[in-house]
Amino acid sequence: MKWEDYRQSEYLEDRRGGGGGDFAGLPGGRGGLGIGTMVVLGLLGWAFGIDPRLLIGGAELIGGIGGRPQTQETRRSAGPPADEMGRFISAVLAQNEDVWTRLLPQQANRRYEQPRLVLFDGVTSSACGRAQSAMGPFYCPPDKRVYLDTSFFQEMQRKLGGGGDFAHAYVIGHEVGHHIQNLIGILPRANELRERSSEREANAISVRIELQADCFAGIWANNVQAMGRIEPGDIDEALKTAAAIGDDRLQKASRGQIVPDSFTHGSSAQRMRWFSTGLRSGSMQSCDTFRTNQL
């Protein structure tokens, strides 16, 4: 992936090196668990012999009640990051800004409002409660921020086999996809519906939310490809990562059993399919996971 000569985002907030503090909740809140949450909880369940569905349910419950803004004294760097990973993330965020600033008014008649991306290490605060590295990247709707500890990328590659710069960019694009959902009103409506639904129905709604975010990440990739910034193997990296974090693969690895009714992010095949749909079409209309019976 060609990114070194791309501009740096002004909306990256670098909290790395900051302290911790007392927090009331876990990431996710009303926005659902982030893309890394299912991965990490599945691995924890595998390591300790705990059904990951119990861990996931507990995280969602705590996240749902930890939604009040938190405060934290932490270092925030001035200017763009100096390290390579920080500059890479800043450039990918800038690409998302440029793509969605142009596309969102055209395709959804909505002005794009840039989210901030918070880089942290270990733990920090968010309007959704505590952000910690063990939970993976996530988007917090109340403060319109993406939270990312880059150690997730190393864990993703070491334990799940999903890695590479374009795979990392796909993860960022997925979380920005949740921000798009928030801006156009899909995320708040879906979460209201989840609150009135049974556990099985709420899980099914979560799957549609996550697959649409994958499709929006595919739209970003479509435009990056049009810029001539995709290199051989990049798309395969993203698809391999999408497959690695499918609910079926994680459940099979952690417990040896697949329970579709407990899926919250979608199967490996579904995640690859919807990312590919956005990549092929470049159209938000093709990403309507809520109006199809075939996911």
Question: What would the pLDDT profile of 142-169 be if each residue is shown by its tens digit?
Answer: 999 999 998 988 887 777 666 789 999 9
What is the C-alpha separation between 199 and 155, in angstroms, rounded? 30
3-state secondary structure 135-176: HCCEEECCCCEEEECCHHHHHHHHHHCCCCHHHHHHHHHHHH
Assigned domain for 209 exists: yes
Q: What is the pLDDT of residue 136?
A: 87
Query: Which residue stretches of 18-146 are H helix?
Result: 35-48, 52-65, 84-108
Global pTM value: 0.81
Assigned domain for 155 exists: yes
Q: What is the pLDDT of residue 31?
A: 46
Confidence of residue 55 (pLDDT cuts 50, 70, 90): very low
149 lies in which domain range? 12-280
Assigned domain for 108 exists: yes
Residue identified by tokens 């697959």 is 211
Domain count, the chain: 1
Q: What percent of the chain has pLDDT over 90?
A: 66
Q: What is the pLDDT of residue 162?
A: 62
If you ran DSSP here, which 8-state letter would residue 115 be given?
P
Q: What is the pLDDT of residue 137?
A: 93
Q: What is the pLDDT of residue 156?
A: 76
Assigned domain for 287 exists: no
| Mean pLDDT along residues 10-37 | 57
Q: What is the pLDDT of residue 76?
A: 53
Each residue's pLDDT tens digit, 236-272: 999 999 998 899 998 998 888 999 999 999 999 999 9
Q: Look up residue 113 and give its amino acid.
A: E
Assigned domain for 66 exists: yes
Assigned domain for 286 exists: no
Residue (of 206, 187, 215) closest to 261 by Cα position: 206
Each residue's pLDDT tens digit, 162-213: 678 999 999 999 999 999 999 999 999 999 999 999 999 999 999 999 999 9
Assigned domain for 289 exists: no
Beta strand pairing call for 12-14 and 116-119: parallel
Q: Which of 70-74, 137-141, 289-293 has the lowest mean pLDDT?
A: 70-74
Assigned domain for 275 exists: yes
- Residue 74 CB contacts under 8 Å (≥ 6 apart), including other chains: 15, 18, 19, 120, 124, 125
